[in-house]
Structure 1
Amino acid sequence: MTPERLRAFCLSFNDTVEDFPFNPETSVFKVAGKLFALSALGARPLTVNLKCDPDDAVRLRAEHPDAIAPGYHMNKRHWNTVTVGALPDTRLRELIEDSYDLVVAGLPRAVRLRLDRP
């Protein structure tokens, strides 16, 4: 997956925006103002930080030690850093969608319904 495709996929979800609160190189993807993905799109190797259920985070790190690590500069319990290209694109897309869904699940019901995600 290229940086452009990663950006486009993250922006394809309802009510998602790209923001640069840390520096101009670090893209922060948010839904309803809440972070679900973070990536320095120009970095090599390309990585993306994704929110994850704590139990799943540990399991994923064990299953893919060369591709998934504890979230860099993030809460290690709830975030993973995924090396783009080290997993199949379909699996990466699933992890991004899981991150989005996890954040949406924590939003107020009215916002979830507006996003069409009960």
Structure 2
Amino acid sequence: MAISAAQDELENAWAQLCLSMPCAYADYPFGPESTVFKVAGRDPGKGKMFGLIMHLNGELVLNLKCEPALADQQRSEHPQITPGYHMNKKHWNSVRAGLDPNLMRELIEDSYDLVVDGMPRRDKEYIRLQGTINKGSID
């Protein structure tokens, strides 16, 4: 199924947001049609997924991790947010086109932060340091 120019542009925007997070990178364990976004500390081989872009029946979808307490609220407030496709429905949401770009950034950042918070302390410290260096806050 062909991807529209608008979907391609949105997919690129979502990918750029995901890749803008410190120590984030793209991986393709399911093949070239799905992009998995991971974050890793000192060992890139131990990256943890915080996002997954895929095309479902011609529709662009981004799976993001979410606090279980917020997941139901977000789903009820936004028809573009549904339980995570092919994921643990309690912890993951599937997001479709049509959300405000600022809300989209918040959802991606929240997913990333949840994954980083679950990592070992030394990895969290390494990731935070890389984020500080990338922002130019260290002399």
Cα deviation, 1:45-98, whole Å, max 9, x if unaligned, reads 32100000011001111111x2100000000000000112x2101101100000
The percent of aligned pairs where both chains have the same amino acid is: 48
Q: Which letter does structure 2 place at the counterpart of 1:75?
A: N
CA contact (8 A) 1:29 1:35 kept: yes
CA distance in 2, matches of 1:44, 1:10: 21
Q: Which residue of 2 aligns with 1:10?
A: 18
Q: Which runs of structure 1 show a deviation greater than 4 angstroms over 4 or more consecutive aligned residues?
A: none
Pick one of 64, 83, 98 that aligns with 2:110.
98
1:41 Cα deviation (Å)? 6.2
Query: Which structure: greater helix fraction?
Result: 2
Considering only aligned residues, what root-mean-square deviation do their CA atoms show, in Å?
A: 1.7
CA distance in 2, matches of 1:4, 1:42: 17
CA distance in 1, matches of 2:95, 2:106: 12
1:44 Cα deviation (Å)? 3.8
CA contact (8 A) 2:11 2:53 kept: no
Q: Which residue of 2 aligns with 1:68?
A: 81
Unmatched tracts of structure 2, length 5 or more: 1-8, 41-46, 130-139
1:42 Cα deviation (Å)? 9.3
Unmatched tracts of structure 1, length 5 or more: none
CA contact (8 A) 1:29 1:36 kept: yes
Mapped pair 1:81 → 2:133: no
Pick one of 95, 111, 114 that aligns with 2:123.
111
TM-score, normalised relative to structure 1:
0.90
CA distance in 2, matches of 1:94, 1:39: 16
TM-score, normalised relative to structure 2:
0.77
